[in-house]
């Protein structure tokens, strides 16, 4: 049986550091035990999932003031390979939500890679977070992480209003998308072709931006992810600047599509 609880003693904190290394690699930057310990004393949150005495997942956020809002910045979420595919990431986020609401915190910010469909599905469809902005190469091109995908570290900054109607709808399953829905060609920003195209990006009230489906070694061998990321970056930078809002993510077998509407 799996147990979710806050992490406080040194043994738990060291297990959290070990899981960071297992998730992102020995060469990746990790949050050390000392910082985890101090941040718990200054309003941070660290929650873990255990099977027996083994830590199989954790979520870590810091007390913050961002966008003139007293909030938490959710810095890390990791699930061990032995526990993936069972919805544990969502359970940890909901555990975080429950705990923060008891502390009077109702807003959480974090980042995620726009090219990773699994994370987009969790954050937008299953939690109801809202995309605020797109930041090119936020953490630099060389993070040392095993999960580094497609060149530079572009990121969305998202806001999770813990008590909003959107969040409650997502928690109730209202944003689960029909994976067979395919956008019309005239409102789709698709992957770049082998030759440069002069086609203007769509300008209607509804737009779809294509990203890869599940990223595997074979996927990365078949497509130019660096070029694809550049196309996605260009599209989001334009659309968000023009007032479009990201609604959710449609999931297909090989590709997925962000759905945007003009505000």
Q: What is the C-alpha separation between 248 and 163, in angstroms, rounded? A: 18
- Give the pLDDT score at 179: 47
- Give residue-wise pLDDT tens across range 87-116: 999 999 999 999 999 999 999 999 999 999
Q: Whole-angstrom Cα distance, residue 96 to residue 75? A: 12
Q: How confident is residue 235, by pLDDT bands cut at 50, 70 and 90?
A: very high
As a whole number of angstroms, the distance between CA 213 and CA 253 comes to 6
Class of domain 2-171: alpha beta
Taking each helix axis from N to C end, the angle separating 33-41 and 10-24, rounded to the nearest 10 degrees, works out to: 120
Residue-level pLDDT at 125: 94
Where would I find the beta strands (DSSP E) of the chain?
A: 2-6, 45-51, 54-66, 69-79, 107-112, 130-135, 155-161, 188-189, 206-212, 244-251, 255-262
- CA dihedral over 91, 96, 102, 108, signed as positive or negative: negative
> How far apart are the C-alpha atoms of 107 and 164, rounded to whole Å?
10
Q: What proportion of the chain, given as a percentage, has pLDDT over 90?
A: 73
Q: Among 30-39, 127-136, 223-232, whose mean pLDDT is lowest? A: 223-232
Looking at residue 176, its pLDDT comes to: 65
* HSE of 108, CA atoms in CB hemisphere, 13 A: 31
Q: How far apart are CA 250 and CA 125, in angstroms?
A: 9
125-136 confidence digits (pLDDT tens)? 999 999 999 999
- So where are the chain's domains? 2-171, 185-262
Handedness of CA 42, 48, 53, 55 (dihedral sign): negative
The whole model's pTM is what?
A: 0.91
Cα distance between residue 134 and residue 239, in whole Å: 10
With a cut of 90, say whether residue 26 has pLDDT above it.
no
- Whether residue 101 contacts residue 163, with contact meaning beta carbons closer than 8 Å, is answered with yes
Give the three-class secondary structure for 91. Answer: helix
Which one, of 56, 46, 52, 62, lies nearest residue 5 by Cα? 46
Which pLDDT value is given to residue 197? 57
Q: What is the pLDDT of residue 263?
A: 82
């Amino acid at each position: 049986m799996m147990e979710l609880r806050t992490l406080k003693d040194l043994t738990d904190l060291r297990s959290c550091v070990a899981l960071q290394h297992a998730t992102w690699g020995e060469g990746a930057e990790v949050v050390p035990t000392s910082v985890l310990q101090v941040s718990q004393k200054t309003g941070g949150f660290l929650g873990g999932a255990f099977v027996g005495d083994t830590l199989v997942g954790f979520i870590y956020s810091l007390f913050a003031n961002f966008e003139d809002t007293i909030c938490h910045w959710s810095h890390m979420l990791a699930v061990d390979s032995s526990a993936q595919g069972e919805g544990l990431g969502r359970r940890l986020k909901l555990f975080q939500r429950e705990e923060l609401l008891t502390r009077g915190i109702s807003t959480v910010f974090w980042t995620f890679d726009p090219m990773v469909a699994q994370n987009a599905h969790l954050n937008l469809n299953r939690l109801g977070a809202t995309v605020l902005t797109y930041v090119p190469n936020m953490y630099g091109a060389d993070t040392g992480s095993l999960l580094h995908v497609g060149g530079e570290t572009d990121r969305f900054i998202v806001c999770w209003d813990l008590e909003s109607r959107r969040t409650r709808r997502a928690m109730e399953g209202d944003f689960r998308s029909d994976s067979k829905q395919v956008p019309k060609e005239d409102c789709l920003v698709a992957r770049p072709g082998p030759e440069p195209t002069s086609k203007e990006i769509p300008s209607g009230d509804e737009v779809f931006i294509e990203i890869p489906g599940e990223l595997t070694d074979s996927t990365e061998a078949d497509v130019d992810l660096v070029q694809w990321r550049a196309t996605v970056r260009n599209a989001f930078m334009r659309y968000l600047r023009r007032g479009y809002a990201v609604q959710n993510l449609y999931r297909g077998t090989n590709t997925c599509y962000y759905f945007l509407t003009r505000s």
